[in-house]
Amino acid sequence: MTATLLAAALLLGLVALGLGALARRAGADVDLAARIDAVLPQTQCGQCNYPGCRPYAEALARGEADIDQCPPGGDAGAHALARLLGRVPKPVNPAHGTPGPRVVALIDETTCIGCTKCIQACPVDAIVGAPKLMHTVIAAECTGCELCLPPCPVDCITLVPRAADAAAVPTRSTA
């Protein structure tokens, strides 16, 4: 009786180890990368040391990146990634940046010289403008990634808190 139980336990243990090794060997799960990308905030800022949210998602799926590298997602985002990937939750690593309130870029129109460097830098094409003509940030599309600040030769771009969205209608059922 004891022998049978021991044998069964050993066999099951071997099967479990084998399955685990197989799972680890498999390449990045494409579907998993898409699911991770769905959780990321899409700021495309590069603070995670990857050129955009999708590359970070793919690195996470391959197991190369850690879950605490995304400041715009905040601690809640890191927690969501931990849940998705089955890892221990941890707060955002300050080495990548500090999570803060949502901001949008604002171009000081008195100083802007129309050089288009910020337009080329914006990862979501949220800046409208043309050479020698005024540049403006479309606040609704700006993700606050701050990539337009370094290229500006006249330092005319600042970050301002994102205005609250139009007041939501209080949720009440139709009685």
Partner 1 sequence: MLLQPFHGGVRLPPHKPGDAAPAPQSLPLPPELVHPLPPPGASGACAVTVGQRVRRGEMLAAAADARGAAVHAGSSGTVTAIAPRPVGDGEATCVVIATDGRDDSAPLPPLADWRELPRERLLERLAVAGVVGLGGAAFPAAAKLAAPGTILILNGAECEPWLRSDEALLCHGAVEVLAAAQLLAHLCRATRVLLALESRMHGARAALQAALAAPGAGGVELVAVPTRYPVGSERQLIRVLTGQEVPSGGLPRDLDASVHNVASAVAAWRAIVHGEALTERLVTLGGRGVRGAGVYRVRLGTPVAHLVAHAGGYTDAAARLVLGGPMMGQAVAHDAVPVLASTQAVLVLGADELRAAAPERACIRCGDCAAVCPAQLLPQTLLAQLREGELEAAAQQGLSDCIECGACAWVCPAQIPLVQLYRDGKSALQVQEDERARAAQARARHLARAARLARDAAERVARVAARAPATAPAAAQPAATAPATPAAAATTAAAPMDKAAVLAAIARGRARRQAAAPAGREDAP
Residues that bind partner 1 (CB under 8 A): 37, 40-44, 46, 51-53, 55, 76, 109-110, 113, 117, 120-126, 141, 143, 145, 147, 150-151, 153-155, 165-175
Nearer to partner 1, 18 or 51 (CB): 51
30-39 vs 53-62: helix axis angle to the nearest 10? Answer: 130
H or E element in which residue 160 lies: strand 157-161
Tokens of 172: 């009440």
Q: How far is the CB of 168 from partner 1 (least distance, A)?
A: 6
Least CB distance from residue 125 to partner 1, whole Å?
Answer: 5
Closer to partner 1 at the Cβ: 25 or 172?
Answer: 172
Of residues 12 and 146, the one with the C-beta less far from partner 1: 146
Tokens 């399955």 belong to which residue? 19
Q: How far is the CB of 148 from partner 1 (least distance, A)?
A: 9
CB 28 to partner 1: min, Å: 18
Which residue number, 40 or 67, has a Cβ lying nearer to partner 1?
40
Exposure of 103 in the CB half-sphere (CA atoms within 13 A): 17
**Among positive and negative, which fits the CA dihedral 93, 104, 121, 61?**
positive
CA distances from residue 141 to 43, 123, 124, 167 in whole angstroms, order as listed: 10, 11, 7, 19
